[in-house]
A and B are shown apart, each in its own frame.
Chain A
């Protein structure tokens, strides 16, 4: 499959020191659903904003659909569809009017635009609501509208920045169905960001984990899970001495400290190894305070590579600093 997006040392630095994105080098192939996974402030939106020409890079560049984002931003804009994190539709217009306005931005002929709009509305079950004002839409309906606004000009690439942020669990799974449908029926390449692991797991066929403006690892969801080399047994002991003994467990493919008196042991297959582990514990007179067994999941992958849990949803440093800077500028 040909490469449709390629970045070369793409960087965005705010105020000379806040590195929102540092030397990003990625290649995305046509037809892929590529997921950027990371906590808030990791650089996901910065990446999307750069690739969609909403902001300009401090250094480096990228080719999107064959066009340079710096030199040919207008051509880039013609081949991409964007569903930004914030809502962009106009509340005082109807759903249809919003779609038509954007279609006119791309000079889509009126008949063709009407055809496409009808198809898209059907795709996300908004036919009935099309003639209502957007301010009367529910949160989920607005998100669905946002999803198709980015598609009226039949783009080759669709960017989805946190498409389900702020939606309840049911609506979120429903959105996933719509995204899958769109990918299948319209055959677009999708670049998706999310800080919901299950979302990226469900939709993407390749994932990069990003944190502090840097990509930590890229792979398929399965590949990433496999890279954990088995199941993880996390044990909390009474003292560090016991923990040290545990690290010498012969069946472990990997064992490392994970806090005071805590050891994470990676084993091939926990179902078979667990009895052996228990035997080892009793033979060595170790006192376990707490024990959990985790099968490979993206949560675990994330924890492994970033050293922290994705659900610790503190606003990242970069975002905080940027907000402060904005305040200062006023």
Chain B
């Protein structure tokens, strides 16, 4: 009698019946990928010539073009944005009335929140698939020079899911007692640019100001972007990267687990009209 299944089904029904919803979530990441991704031509980046190209190759971790380099970052950012807004639906339920029904039904109160998180995860995975497909289609787009192993797929999917869990949990906890969605929009606006640019999502650490590169080291967005980036560029987890990927994904997993637990307790105790 947890209520999680019917509530998640409800969220997903509302989503797939409204194609605009799906599209609007994709337009921004698509432009990031297609326009921002094409804005930097790695071969020209350091002034051309064989030697500098080689240097650029090192800085960009061997990505054959910027879109290949940036894809991991874009996937993480897409996941981040969709996850951040999942909390908003809690406020909508409170304002439009369904919350009253949920609170007097014998369901776990955390199910109300976890149904949003789960459905955000499903939405994010669909967005990820569409964005990867788009990256192939864009001129001078994604190049999988070294193929793409099953392990690489696992790293990509799990990382995206962890990012979704982390940020949808944080924003759900914020939304649990809020009555006004503008607060959420405000917080999203406040944190999205720092989260994005104080990370390795768009740029390699070697070209950043060193203070920024140092700060970005502690950003979960960096960990996630780097994990996906390395498997996209190298086709799998190459031996020199094993320790890194383990550390990144391990940290993300611990963070996600902690936040999910927090969400559970806050939702069980604090959710109300």
Could you list which residues of chain A lie within 8 angstroms of chain B, going by C-beta atoms? 52-55, 74-75, 77-78, 80, 82, 84, 86-93, 97, 100-102, 104-107, 149, 326, 330
Residue of A nearest to B17 (CB): A92
When C-beta atoms are compared, the residue in chain B nearest to A84 turns out to be B100
In Å, the complex CA distance between A100 and B17 comes to 18
Selecting from B75-83, B104-112, B131-139, B163-171, the interface stretch reads B104-112
- Give the contacting residue for B105; candidates A55, A97, A100, A105; CB below 8 A: A105
Judge whether B3 is part of the interface by a CB distance below 8 angstroms.
Answer: yes
Extra contacts, 7 of them, besides A54-B104, A82-B101 (Cβ < 8 A), are: A53-B104, A84-B101, A84-B104, A101-B6, A104-B3, A104-B6, A149-B101
- Contacts of B55-110 to chain A: CB distance below 8 A: 96-107
Q: Are A107 and B100 in contact (CB under 8 A)?
A: no
- Residue pair A80, B104 in contact (C-beta under 8 Å): yes
B9 within 8 Å of A (CB atoms): yes
Going nearest first, the 9 A-B pairs with the smallest beta carbon separation are A88-B101, A104-B6, A77-B106, A105-B105, A82-B104, A84-B100, A86-B97, A88-B97, A52-B104
- The complex places the Cα of A77 from the Cα of B106 at a distance, in Å, of 5
B contact residues around A78 at 8 Å (CB) = 106
Closest beta carbon of chain A to B208's beta carbon, Å: 38
Pairwise interchain contact A97-B13, C-beta atoms closer than 8 A? yes
B180, CB-defined interface residue at 8 Å: yes
Is B5 at the interface (CB under 8 A from chain A)? yes
Tell me, in angstroms, the Cα distance from A14 to B97 when the chains sit together.
22
Chain A residues with CB below 8 A from B101, complex form: 82, 84, 88-89, 102, 149
CB of A77 within 8 A of CB of B105, answer: yes
B97 proximity list for chain A (CB < 8 A) = 84, 86-89
22 interchain pairs, CB-CB under 8 A: A53-B104, A54-B272, A54-B273, A55-B272, A75-B106, A82-B100, A86-B97, A88-B98, A88-B99, A88-B101, A90-B10, A91-B96, A101-B6, A101-B9, A105-B3, A105-B102, A105-B105, A105-B106, A105-B107, A149-B101, A326-B179, A330-B183
Interfacial residues of chain B within 1-40, with CB under 8 A of chain A in the complex: 1, 3, 5-7, 9-10, 13-14, 17-18
Whether B104 contacts A330 by the Cβ 8 Å rule is no
Using Cβ atoms and an 8 Å threshold, which residues of chain A touch B14? 90, 92-93
How far is B7's CA from A77's CA once the two chains are assembled, in angstroms? 17
Closest to A73 in B: B106
Which single residue of chain B is at the shortest CB-CB distance from A103? Answer: B6
CA distance A326 to B94 in the complex (A): 14
Give Cα A202–Cα B13 distance, bound, in whole angstroms. Answer: 41
| B101 nearest in chain A by CB position | A88
In the complex, chain A residues whose CB is within 8 Å of the CB of B99: 88
Expressed in whole angstroms, the Cα–Cα distance for A57 and B269 within the complex equals 15
| Bound form: Cα–Cα A175–B18 in Å | 33
How far does the alpha carbon of A75 sit from the alpha carbon of B102 in the complex, in Å?
A: 15
Nearest CB of chain A from residue B55's CB, rounded to whole Å: 53
Q: Which residues of A contact B1 (CB under 8 A)?
A: 105-107
Q: Tell me the smallest distance from the CB of A146 to a CB of chain B, in Å.
A: 9
Against A, the Cβ 8 Å flags (1 = close, 0 = not) of B159-187 are 00000000000000000000110010000
A80 to B101, CA, bound (A): 12
Q: Give the chain B neighbours of A53 by CB distance below 8 A.
A: 103-104
Q: A80 contacts which chain B residues (CB < 8 A)?
A: 104
Residues of the A chain whose Cβ atoms lie less than 8 Å from the Cβ of B179: 326, 330
Chain A residues with CB below 8 A from B102, complex form: 105
Q: Is the CB of A102 within 8 A of B104?
A: no
Chain B residues closer than 8 Å to A55, beta-carbon distance: 272-273
